[in-house]
Structure 1
Amino acid sequence: MTALFSHPSVTVSVEDATLLVVGDVEVTVAADLAASGVKWLKHTELTTISFDFSRVEKASSVAISVLFEWLRICQQRGIQVQSIHFSAPLRRLASLAELDALIEQPTATLAV
């Protein structure tokens, strides 16, 4: 596991081909958190990646915004998103925002 970002409330690390977010994504750290993933994505040689937000217990649109920033970079670089994992609170929020298809089938949804 390689740590990319560490803050008392949240960490981001790379484990195999997965960007793993643990903790609560707060507005005050969102830009730095997103930037850490963007920097890594811009330099990785991986062609397939997964995102794991399953350890983010607080539902927050900020976490979803971070995901969107990472998805944008993946699309620019031609990195295929294999899977996106959300905690139950984040999944409920994503469902309210009608993002179910993206979460369940990122490869098919992003290919459109």
Structure 2
Amino acid sequence: MIALFSRPGVTVSVENATLLVEGDVEVTLAADLAASGVKWLKHTELTSVSFDFSRVGKASSAAISVLFEWLRICRQRGIQIQTILFSAPLRRLASLAELDTLIDQPAATLAV
């Protein structure tokens, strides 16, 4: 596992081909979290990745904003999204925003 970002209570790391977010994503950290993943995505030679937000403890639109920034870079670079995992609280928020299809079928929804 390679740490890309670490602050008390939140980390972003890479494990295999998965960007993993752990902790509570606060609005004040969202830009830095997103930037750490963007930097990695811009330099990776992988053609497909996964995003794992299953260890995010509380629902936060900031976490979803981080995801969207990473998806934008993947689309620009032609990187396929294999899976997107959300914690239960984050999943409920995503459902309210009608993002279920994106989360469940990212490759089909985001055909690059």
Measured against the shorter chain, the TM-score band is over 0.9
TM normalised by structure 2 equals 0.98
Q: Could you tell me which runs of 5 or more consecutive residues in structure 1 were left unpaired when the two chains were aligned.
A: none
Instruction: Show CA shifts across 1:51-107 (max 9, x none).
Output: 000000110000000000000000000000000000000000000000000000000
User: Residue in 2 aligned with 1:83?
Assistant: 83
Q: Cα deviations across residues 20-75 of structure 1 (Å, max 9, x unaligned)?
A: 00000001111011000000000000001000000001100000000000000000
Equivalent residue number for residue 105 of structure 2: 105
Q: Detail structure 1 runs of 4+ shifted over 3 Å in the superposition.
A: none
CA-based RMSD: 0.8
Aligned length: 112
Paired with 1:11 and 1:4, the residues of 2 have a C-alpha distance of 8
Aligned-residue offset at 1:111: 1.4
> Among the aligned pairs, what percent are the same residue?
85
TM-score for both structures, normalised by structure 1 = 0.98
Q: Distance in 2 between matches of 1:6 and 1:85?
A: 20
